[in-house]
Structure 1
Amino acid sequence: MAKMTIQDKLALLSDAAKYDASCASSGTTKRGSRDGKGLGSTTGSGICHAYAPDGRCISLLKILMTNYCVYDCAYCINRVSSNVPRARFTVEEVVWLTIEFYRRNYIEGLFLSSGIVKSSDYTMEEMVRIAEKLRADGFRGYIHLKTIPEASPELIERAGLSADRLSINVELPTDASVRAYAPEKDPAGIRDAMGKVRLTKEDYAEKSFTGRRRGKFAPAGQSTQMIVGADAADDADILGTANKLYGAYGLKRVYYSAFSPIPDASAVLPLVDPPLMREHRLYQADWLLRFYDFGLDEIITRDNGGMLDLDVDPKLAWALANRDRFPVDVNRAAKEDLLRVPGFGTKIVQRILSSRRNGALALEDIRRMGGRIKQASSFVVARGHTPGQMLDGANLRARFVKPQQMELF
C-alpha cells in the first residue's frame, strides 16, 4: 500500500470533519504582539466557510487530526467498526498546513477535531501540542479545539491557554440517547468537563491581589453540538437541553446538526434524513432564547407535539398564536414589545428606538432601515398605517406560507 501524501491526508480528513457543525469564530479579537511581529490576523479575507453571528465572513481550515477512533458511536462515520479509509496527521503536518494556508490568505484560523487514538489524554496532548506550537511560531489567527471530555484537567487548561474557543459535544439531546448510541461515553462526564471549562475560564478572568489577571483562557468561550433526528427526541427536548446548557455552562453557542445517514451506517439508526428546515427552525428558536427574551414555554409546548412549525419561523408562529398582543405601535412601544414583532431584528429595533426621537416613523422609514415589512405590516401601527382587519383575518397565516412550501434537504 502506497504511503499517503499530506495532500491525500488533507482530502480525507477535511472531508471527515464536515459532520461537525461546531464551527464559528465570533467573540475573539486579534492577538497582539509586543514586537509587532507575527502571522496574520483573524479579520483578514479568505475563502468563506461560515458566517459568524456578528455577520463577519470567516474562513477556517477545518480538519480532523485523525479519523482513527477507539469508540464505536453508532452515528459517527469514523467509529471503530466503520469500514472507511483511515489517515492521521502528525503534529508538524497540521502546523505546516495551517501556517501555509494562512500565509496564502486562504484561511483565518484552524478548527481542529479528532478521533480518539490510544487514549483520551494521548489524543488531547497531540492536539494541544499543535495549538501551542502554532502560537510559539507566531500564529495569531483563530484556533478552535474540539476538546475530549475524558482528558485530564491539566491538558484542558493548556488547550484553553492556546485556543480561542473550546468545544465539547454533548452529542445527542438526551442522556438516554447517548447511552443507547454512544455507550462508551458518559453524559454526566461530558457535562462535568464543560463545567470545569467554565470554572477555569472564570478563574483566569479574576484579578489577583496585584490587580492583574492570570491570562486569557478560551477568550471566545465554549460551544457544543447536538445531532438532530438521529433519535426520537422532539424539538422541545432539544431546546430544553440547549436552554439548560446555556444557563449552567455559559456556552457561546449550541450547534444543531441535522443527522444524515452515513456510509456503512449502523443498523440501529434511521435511514431517512430529517428535513434541514428543522435544523434551521431550531437555530431561529435558539436565537429567540438568547437575544429576544423569549421563554422556552413561549416558543414551544407539548400542545403541538413538541415540534416547531416548519412552515413559518418561530417568532411568526408565536405572533400568530398571540394576536391579542398586537398591533404594536412602532412610535410608542417599549423595546421588549418591538422585539416580538415578526420581521424586526435586534438591530432594526435599536434603529427604530433611535430614529423615532426625531419624528413619527412610517413603514417606508422602517423598510429603509432594513425591516422586513412584508412580515411586520400585519402586526404594527405606524405613521399612515394600521393593519385594520388584517390582524384578525382567518387567512393571515396563509399570507406567509407559500402554496408549495419549499423543503430544504
Structure 2
Amino acid sequence: IGLLAEFYFVFYKEMLWSFYSVAYIIHTCGYSSFYANIIQYNIDQLVGASADELSSVIYWHILSQPLVDLFYYLLQCLFYGSSYFIIITFIVSGVSVSLVLVSHSFFKHKLENISLIKNPIKLIVRVLCYARKHKYPQNRSALTYWEEEAPSRLDLGKDKYGGPFTEEEVEDVKTVFRMLPLFIGFVALNFSDDSYSSVIDRSFTLPTCLAVTDSIVCFNKNIPSMLTRMSVGIFLAFIVTVSKVIIFVIERSHPDINNLITLLFFPQTIQGLTFILFYPVSLEFTVAQSPVHMRGVMVGLWYATAWGLSYLNSIIAKFLFDCESQYICTSFYYYITKSVLVLIILIVFVILAKRYKYRVRENEVNIVQIVDDHYQRYMEQEEQYKKNRTDDIQYSIQ
C-alpha cells in the first residue's frame, strides 16, 4: 500500500495520508496477531520437549527481531539515498511471505493442531465474580440433610468452600494476578531506551551497521533465577539513564554532535545488555509460569506491555519536557525524572520478585502407561505360570 501511494498519489496529500493510515492499521493488526500467537504455536509443536529446548525456542524467537533489524540496516546502508530502497524491501517482504506459505503447505500435515477448550478471559471473570459474591463460606441449610442419599464429605466441602471451580482453575487465576505486577519492569526499560536515529544519520555507514549487533553469552552452569536476571536488567537500565544524565549535562554547555555520538556508545551498549537480560528472560518466565490455556493471553499482554509502552514513552514523555524532536531530548530534567522513576521501579520489582510464589505443578500421572505396565506384568506372570505348569506335568509323566 505504501509503495502504491508513493508512486500514484504523491501529489494528493489527503489520499497519501489515507493510504498510509490504512497501511499502518493493517501492519499493527498483523504484527500483534502474529507475534502474540507464534511463540505459543511453536511451543505447542514441541510436545514432550525438555526445558532447555523450550528455552532455546524462546531465545531464538527473541533473537529473530535483532537479526531482521540487522538485515534491514545492511540494506539501508548499501542502498542509502537510493530510490530503489522501497522496491527492494517490498520484494524481500514478498519473498519471505511466499516462503512461509509454501513451507506451511508442505509441512501442514506434520504439525500439531491443538485447540483451546477453555476461554481464559471467561474463566478469570467467573472466578472474580464468584469470589466477590462469596467472600465467606456458606453454611448448608439443615433442611437439605433430609435426603434419601447422604452426600459425601467431599461434595459438602466443595459446595461450602470450593464453589463450581476446581483447585487447578483457581490457582491458574491466582497465578495470572501474581504475574501481572511484574510487568512493571517494562516501564523501566522503556524509560531507558531512546531512539537517536536522527543523530547518527551522518555516520550511517556499513562499519557502523556491523558494529551494532547483539550477542548472547550462554552459561551452562551457575545460572541465576529468571527473576534475578530480570532485576539485573532493570538495574542496568538505571545505569543507562544515569549515564545519559551525566552525558547531557556535560554536552549542554558546548554541544558537539560528533562528541555526542561517541559518548552515547557506552549507554547504548549497556542498553543492549539490558535487552538481553530482560526481554527473553521475561518471555521465558511468562511462558513457563502461565497456565496452558492462558498462555496466549499472557503472551499477548507481554507484547502489549513490552512494545506498547515504548510508543507511549516516545509520544507523551518527550512532549511534557519540550524536547527538540521526537528522536532526541537534551533536557536535564527529562533524564533526571526518568532516572528517579527507574530507581523506584527497580525497588518495587525487587520486592515483588522476592515475594513471588512460583507455580509448581504436580506431574500428571500417566494412567495409560500405568495400566499398560500392569497388564504387561500380568501377561508375563501368566506365561511364566503356564510354562511352570507344563514343566511340572512333563516331570510327573516321566
TM-score by length of 1: 0.24
Larger radius of gyration: 2
Structure with greater helix share of residues: 2
Greater relative CO (CA pairs within 8 A, separation 6+): 2
Decide which structure has greater strand share: 1
